[in-house]
Amino acid sequence: MDLQIEGKVALVTGAGQGIGKEIAKRLASEGAKVAVNDLFHDRAHAVAEEITRGGGTSIGFQSDVTQIAQVQGMVEKISSLLGPVEILVNNAGVPAEIRSGQMKRTVFVETDPQSWKKDIDPNLYGCLNCTYSVLRSMIEKKEGKIINIISEAGRLGEYNLTVYSGTKAGILGFSKALAREVGRHAINVNCIALGATAHEGLKPPLNIESSPDKDPLLQKMLKSYPIGMGLGRIGRPWDVAYAVAFLASPKACFITGQCLGVSGGYSMV
């Protein structure tokens, strides 16, 4: 299927590895010109170089999405080098349970208020900052696709991940409200909700090399993912990337304010 995004300018945040990297590569394979953002310069440029070696068009940009001035500066550079952003994928964020390679979950009453910013700033403010920085040009063009990557924790609430769940739920509410505001400008705003998704940036049992046949915790997790049980795996970055590419295309022009679960059936809202 021709997704008709050839030549479109896409910004993918947090795209130096894992899910964001796969999203950037998929959009580039469909002909989009991709701005690869990451907090780390080397990661962003490595992904951009991989895309260009494969025949695509891409440039890496280092920027901290929690800092509005940095984001606005990045968007200005993208506009001058590739053109105004027409597709924004807000993927950057920090999963609360992954801290220094360890799984960490804490009931809310025992959390440290100083730690809340570790989730709120990248997960929620990162989305707000990037959206705010590209939205005016989308309104002027009367065209745009905004896809926000959230978690099923934002739709269902996750035990011992209260602040993290709150940030993802905040993005969902923001996306629905924004979709109502900008629909008259032919701008689509949607979310994709993820379950456990293995990639190279995570430690076991959620790294890409983990096997459910060898890890009892992964076997236990799979019981919550109906399709995952059938496939013998949890989510992979390409599962997300295909969904993003569709929502970024004109084929999805009549879909807005929605949340698509790409989670193997973990949630069936």
Give me the number of domains the chain comprises. Answer: 2
CA–CA separation, 69 vs 65, rounded Å?
9
Band of pLDDT at residue 225, cut at 50, 70 and 90: very high
What is the band of 204 on the pLDDT scale with cuts at 50, 70, 90? confident
182 and 222 share one domain:
no
For residues 94-121, give the mean pLDDT: 76
The candidate with the shortest Cα–Cα distance to 61, out of 47, 52, 69, is 47
Let me know how long the chain is. 269
Q: If you search the block for the tokens 């170089």, which residue do you land on?
A: 49
Residue 101 has pLDDT above 60, yes or no: no
164 in active site: yes
User: Do residues 18 and 72 both lie within one domain?
Assistant: yes
Residues 83 and 143 in one domain: yes
pLDDT at position 147 over 50: yes
Of 17-31, 105-119, 130-144, 170-184, give the lowest mean pLDDT range.
105-119
pLDDT band, residue 194 (cuts 50/70/90): very high
Contact predicate 137/181, CB 8 Å:
no
In a domain, 268, yes or no: no
- Predicted local confidence at residue 59, as pLDDT: 98
**Residue 211 pLDDT exceeds 90:** no
Considering the candidates 125, 132, 159, 164, report the single residue annotated as catalytic: 164
Q: Please answer whether residues 269 and 155 qualify as being in contact, where contact means their C-beta atoms are separated by less than 8 angstroms.
A: yes
Same domain, 80 and 211: no
pLDDT in tens, 160-186: 999 999 999 999 999 999 999 999 999
Domain range for 39: 9-197+237-262
Going by pLDDT thresholds of 50, 70 and 90, the confidence category of residue 104 is low
On whether residue 13 sits in a domain, the answer given is yes
Asked if residue 267 is part of any domain, the answer here is no
In the predicted model, what is the mean pLDDT of the chain?
Answer: 93
- Pair (211, 251) in one structural domain: no
pLDDT for position 72? 98
pTM value > 0.85: yes
Q: What is the CATH number of the domain that holds 72?
A: 3.40.50.720
- Same domain for 224 and 92: no
Mean pLDDT of 13-41: 98
DSSP 17: S
Same domain, 223 and 111: no
Domain check: are 120 and 151 in the same one?
Answer: yes
Q: Residues 233-240: what's their mean pLDDT?
A: 94
Residues 6+ apart with CB under 8 A from 184: none
